[in-house]
Amino acid sequence: MRLSYTKALNRALTDALAEDPAVCVFGEDIGAGMAGPTLNLLDRFGPGRIVDTPLSEQAFTSMAIGAALTGRRPVIEFQIPSLLFLVFEQLVNQAHKFSLMTGGQSAVPLTCLVPGSGSRDGWAGQHSDHPYGLFAHAGVKTVVPATPTDAYGLLRSAIADPDPVVVFAPAAALPVRETVTWELAPVPLGSARIHREGTDVTVVAVGHLVHDALAVAEELAPEVSVEVFDPRTLHPFDWTALAASLERTGRLVVIDDSNRSCGIGGEVIATAAEGMRLVAPPRRITRPDGTVLPFAPGLDRALQPSRGQLRDAIGEVMKHRAPVRPHGEGPAR
Amino acid sequence: MTQHDPVTQHDPMPQHDPVDPVGLGSPAGRYRMLRLIRGFEELALGLVKSGEITGGIHPYIGQEAVAVGVCAALRPQDRITSTHRGHGHVLAKGAAPDRLLAELLGRTGGLNRGRGGSMHAADFSLGVLGANGMVGAGGAIAVGAAWSARQAGEDRVAVAFFGDGALNQGVLLESFNLAAMWRLPVLFVCENNGYATTLPAATAVAGSATGRAAAFGIPAAEVDGMDTEAVRAAAAEAVERAASGGGPGFLECRTYRFEGHHTMERLMKLRYRTPEEVADWRALDPLPRAAALLPPGRAGQLDASVAQQLDAAREFALASEHPDPAGALEHLYADGLRPRTGSGA
Ligand SMILES: Cc1ncc(C[n+]2csc(CCOP(=O)(O)OP(=O)(O)O)c2C)c(N)n1
């Protein structure tokens, strides 16, 4: 079976709705399934569970919180990543804080799904943000799947999770298709995936950039052995798996399509520098500080992380040779 | 017991009445709750002054008739969302005063185990979905609770309490639309105490409060918020309509807070109301009005019973333990995820 990323999200919603009557979906134009993930859900589950909302993001997000506090498992589909800025109050100030503020009396099993996050050709300044770092920073569980099977599995886990989770489906990952010969299954939050093993350098790639990292790794294979590390969830982050990967490689490059300052890329590097094995100064590839994506395609591209930058960064970290270890210390290389 | 305990003999708080567990079904019960809220606030003000409560509180004194009148119209299964000025709502919905006070003191015996404090007091077992520190935020949360009850086929109404200041929060107006379009069983209760902190409603709210609800097709009534019985009658009508599928309602309760916006206010020496204005409203105090409905001597008995209850609450709260700092981030995630420690941990 060839599974597309969008179809995987659709399957995840369908299966979650079929399995648990508490699951419901809110969003704009979801009855018509405009964005794809909600296609046909209204026919199958009816307007009591698939709720086409007026253009009232703050109210329907709060409403979903009220519903979550009283026994439902709402999923909200946001048409545009920038809408998350409108509902920061609801997600960060309310949903995320409820459990602690009530001393554990309440949980908010709310999932936000953002299909089409990041740059989409021609959508310009207000439609091209990729704000996962903000949620990871706030402590909201944050998921960025790279492949269709992970999109399915992570969305299923997000919906089953008792806490709020924001699932970012990168626009550039939506066209990805995957041949699936196994049964689709939930993927636990907080578990990284190594797409390709390597011994020279760990490339931590977020979302759609996993595919770029794999392409570059393939290209460089004759000279450099690149490990492609996909965290899959940015909060919680699988630090154990990263430490293990750096044990093998000792070199780190992060490629992350969000803004540089205070971004997740910086966090990965800081954490590695604090306590993991590094034999070379790490590098990060991100959008520039405070980026707003310009309209002209060439300008838009110029600000996004590129394969060329990744190649260069790998070249840089490879200039540093690992110190020779005395016999018997550390894993064999 | 009758001979020795004339006070509790008539205590209108029946412990096991499933229909009226909080005991707001009688005028005596409602008076008792007014007195309990008033006394609770006075006690809390004292504890702020003595430094035992950190950070201050938003006193509800003067507005008690709204909480008591509205909650008297609710059934045990109904739910509420509350505000930064929430103690009255939380108590009137039945929360234990000793545990609410312990919460204000940040103790483990508090409703929220000391994690919420005054502005986040919640008791989910009673349908109290939380006081809320963001003005207007509870409005749409109540709409969600109403929606969810209807989806589950449950007969529950949700009430959102908010002030006149919240009328200018867009999210609240958005939620009027959702509630009206979907005919949800929700009652919006605007406690118009005339001010948002120091800002007079007269200079902040264009049109009228009821006009805003009416614009969305929501039946809206203005009621004397200093009169418990008037509030109760108006709320009962709206709750009944909502519960029987008639959609949302809106009540504007004209009321007044006798104290400052916040306990810090005195230190700041803010001047935005005249002493005459305060005195005029104090003359409308809901307590004597509710007491006047009782047989002679009854109010005094109830006062004494409340005083006893509050003494016990004070004792309980002050004896309750401070939470262990090692558990400062407990309950952050419902699934028990342990956040990484920061430099402060
Ligand atoms: C959205 C928001 N804006 C501002 C504040 C700061 N603030 C706290 S209470 C308050 C006044 C609220 O007035 P009102 O809604 O009339 O309620 P009242 O205090 O009179 O009970 C303000 C401005 C806040 N907590 N939330």
- Span B281-290, average pLDDT: 98
- Span B236-255, average pLDDT: 98
Task: Answer for the pair A135, A142: CB distance below 8 angstroms, yes or no.
Answer: yes
For chain A of 333 residues, list the mean pLDDT of each consecutive stretch of 10: 95 98 97 92 97 97 98 97 97 98 98 96 93 97 98 98 98 96 95 98 98 98 97 98 98 97 97 97 97 94 97 96 65 46
pLDDT number for residue B1: 34
DSSP structural state of residue B262: S
Q: Is B165 close to ligand 1, i.e. is its CB under 6 Å away?
A: yes
Q: Is B135 close to ligand 1, i.e. is its CB under 6 Å away?
A: yes
Residues 6+ positions from B162 with CB-CB distance below 8 Å: B83, B135, B136, B138, B139, B172, B188, B189, B190, B191
A62 interface with B at CB cutoff 8 Å: yes
What distance in angstroms lies between residue B187's CA and the mean position of ligand 1's atoms? 20
Are the Cβ atoms of B140 and A161 closer than 8 angstroms? no
* Closest atom of ligand 1 relative to the B133 alpha carbon: 25
Cα distance from A57 to chain B (closest Cα, Å)? 9
Q: Is B197 close to ligand 1, i.e. is its CB under 6 Å away?
A: yes
User: Which residue in chain B is spatially nearest to A48 when comparing CA positions?
Assistant: B151
Share of chain B above pLDDT 70, in %: 95
pTM here is: 0.93
Q: Which residue has the higher pLDDT, B9 or B94?
A: B94
B29 interface with A at CB cutoff 8 Å: no
Task: Answer for the pair B252, B223: CB distance below 8 angstroms, yes or no.
Answer: yes
Cα B131 to Cα A118, B174, B300, distances in angstroms:
36, 20, 31
Alpha carbon nearest to ligand 1 atom 13, residue: B196
Give the C-alpha separation, B258 to B59, whole Å: 9
Query: Among B121, B166, B122, which residue's Cα sits nearest to residue B140?
Result: B166
User: Which residue in chain A is spatially nearest to B328 when comparing CA positions?
Assistant: A100
What distance in angstroms lies between residue A88's CA and the mean position of ligand 1's atoms? 18
Q: In this predicted model, what pLDDT tens digit does every residue of A143-195 receive, in sequence order? A: 999 999 999 999 999 999 999 999 999 999 999 999 998 899 999 999 999 99
Alpha carbon nearest to ligand 1 atom 25, residue: B134
Are the Cβ atoms of B151 and A72 closer than 8 angstroms? yes
ipTM: 0.90
Query: Among B127, B211, B141, which residue's Cα sits nearest to residue B172?
Result: B141
What distance in angstroms lies between residue B139's CA and the mean position of ligand 1's atoms? 13
Cα distance from B121 to chain A (closest Cα, Å)? 7
B310 interface with A at CB cutoff 8 Å: no
Task: Answer for the pair B64, B42: CB distance below 8 angstroms, yes or no.
Answer: no
The size of the A-B interface in CB pairs under 8 A is 155
Alpha carbon nearest to ligand 1 atom 8, residue: B135
Task: Express the helix, strand and coil content of chain B in percent, nearest 5 each.
Answer: 45, 10, 45
pLDDT number for residue B315: 98
A70 interface with B at CB cutoff 8 Å: yes
In DSSP notation, A176-215 reads -EEE--S------TT--EEEE--SSEEEEE-TTHHHHHHH
pLDDT number for residue A326: 62
The pLDDT-based confidence of B6 (bands split at 50, 70, 90) is very low
Q: How many CB atoms lie within 10 A of CB A243?
A: 14
In a mutational test of the B interface, the residue from A25, A72, A73, A105 whose CB has the highest number of chain B CBs within 10 Å is A105
Cβ contacts of B181 on chain A, cutoff 8 Å = 54
B345 interface with A at CB cutoff 8 Å: no
In DSSP notation, A246-312 reads HHHH--EEEEEEEESTT-HHHHHHHHHHHHS--SS--EEEEEPTT----SSHHHHHHHS--HHHHHH
Positions of A annotated as catalytic residues are: 127
Averaged pLDDT score across all residues of chain B: 94
pLDDT number for residue A279: 97
Q: Is B193 close to ligand 1, i.e. is its CB under 6 Å away?
A: yes
In a mutational test of the A interface, the residue from B176, B331, B338, B341 whose CB has the highest number of chain A CBs within 10 Å is B331
- Span B177-184, average pLDDT: 98
What distance in angstroms lies between residue B135's CA and the mean position of ligand 1's atoms? 5
Give the C-alpha separation, B264 to B194, whole Å: 19
- Span B269-294, average pLDDT: 96
In a mutational test of the A interface, the residue from B151, B172, B321 whose CB has the highest number of chain A CBs within 10 Å is B151
Cα distance from B340 to chain A (closest Cα, Å)? 9
